Amino acid sequence: MEVTGLPKHVVAADIAPERLANNPALSERQKIAEASRQFEAILLRQILAASQKTVIPSKFADNSTSSEIYRDMITNQLADTMSKSGGFGLAQTFEKQLTRPEQPRAQVASGRQASAAHPTQQAGVTSAVPGKYLSIHTHE
């Protein structure tokens, strides 16, 4: 009697960024979603690191190497946790922009002609999430 193993459930967040694109167990949508989340985490790390820099130097601040390493670890963990929670919203916006369906070339060409006919309608502002995020589209 042969017993088959249970199908392995792959979590995209557990895969290293450099191995994400070539992983056959993930769909394209999962790959885009995880890449967007990881990009959001990078941006959050930069924002959090910049916000922790002191403006006025103080003799009471611990500026040792071990303190900087500890602060960096906390910043990385906080950025990852924030991006995984989805509360910041950049990852969803990136994902939506990257998964937008391609328009056939005929529609793109006719859109350019229509925008040339109406120069006041050349730029449009749409909301990715109603009331929260803006995405600006221009027609060239």
- With 80 as the cut, is the pLDDT of residue 107 above it? no
User: Is 4 domain-assigned?
Assistant: no
pTM of the full structure: 0.60
The Cα 25–Cα 31 span in angstroms is 10
Per-residue pLDDT tens over the stretch 113-124? 544 444 444 444
The token pair that represents 137 in the structure block: 């589209």
User: Is 116 domain-assigned?
Assistant: yes
Give pLDDT, residue 6: 54
User: Is 67 domain-assigned?
Assistant: yes
Domain count, the chain: 2
User: Is 3 domain-assigned?
Assistant: no
* Enclosing domain of residue 25: 10-54+62-100
My answer on whether 111 and 87 are in the same domain is no
Closest CA to 47 of 79, 74, 77: 79
Q: What is the DSSP letter of 13?
A: G
Where are the alpha helices (H) located in 2-140, listed in sequence order?
17-20, 28-52, 65-85, 90-98, 105-117
The Cα 92–Cα 128 span in angstroms is 9
